[in-house]
Amino acid sequence: MNIFPDSDNPSTWKNAEICPFLGLADDPQTALSFPSVWNACQHARPAAAPKLDHQRLFCLQATHSICPVSLRNGGKPLPAELRLAEPHPFPRKRLLVPILAAGLLILVLVVIGSLWPFL
């Protein structure tokens, strides 16, 4: 059985175990073979991570051929009821400012501490 179908050849989709539209956001040709926040539906625009249960039931099974997303025309957003609320477990952008502020504070304290005898 073909695990990874050819997304350009619809005749391979039915017998494939993994949906041809499932892929990583930065590498659409590669999909993780288990439910993950990193898997994204490339049939949706913009590509988005389906809920883990949806991946388990459709994306990673031969049942992807009856998935409501893959049956509709592409280029539409992933429906809210199928989309993960938070696509990445570590929101880096939200942590950037507090980490930089903490680093700057530590740097200032080290400089003040090293100059304290001379003040």
How far is the C-alpha of 111 from the C-alpha of 6, rounded, in Å? 59
Number of Cβ atoms within 10 Å of the Cβ of 19: 29
- Per residue in 37-81, pLDDT (tens digit) is 999 999 999 999 999 999 999 999 999 989 999 888 888 999 999
Amino acid at 73: N
- Mean pLDDT for 80-93 is 72
Q: What is the pLDDT of residue 26?
A: 87
- Mean pLDDT for 18-27 is 92
Omega cis (within 30) before 46:
yes
Read off the pTM. Answer: 0.62
b/e per residue, 95-118, with b = 16+ CB within 10 A? eeeeeeeeeeeeeeeeeeeeeeee
Q: Are 44 and 87 in contact (CB under 8 A)?
A: no
Where helices occur in 1-119 by DSSP H, the ranges are 52-54, 68-71, 92-115
